[in-house]
Amino acid sequence: MKDKDLTEALKNIIEKEFKNFSKLIPKDILENVSNNISPQIEKFIEKNGYVKKSKYQNLERILNDLEKRIKELEKK
């Protein structure tokens, strides 16, 4: 899941749950809550073995680079 997609999904869930209160609560407060909760939820998700797509792609790139280096060292 893309970083922006996760943040947007969290924002939508929060807005849906607080739909009855949204007329009383300014919208920027919901965005602030979403921005504060999002990192905590991401930490929880990562503890369960899941990572963001961008983090996965970075780790995959590092792994591929290391494999290339190992193959080059084995040839020498």
Query: How many other C-beta atoms can be found within 10 angstroms of the C-beta atom of residue 34?
Result: 19
Give the per-residue pLDDT at 16. 78
The count of structural domains within the chain is: 1
CA 28 to chain centre: 21
The range of the structural domain enclosing residue 23 comes to 3-75
Helices 27-47 and 3-17, axial angle in degrees (round to 10): 120
Give residue 34's identity as a one-letter amino acid code: S
Short-list 4, 2, 14, 17, CA closest to 51: 2
21 pLDDT higher than 70: no
> Residues 6 or more apart from 64 whose CB is under 8 A from it?
none
71 pLDDT higher than 60: yes
Q: Which residue has the tokens 């369960």?
A: 48
Average pLDDT of span 37-64 = 86
State pTM to two decimals: 0.44
The top-scoring range by mean pLDDT among 4-8, 18-22, 31-35, 70-74 is 70-74
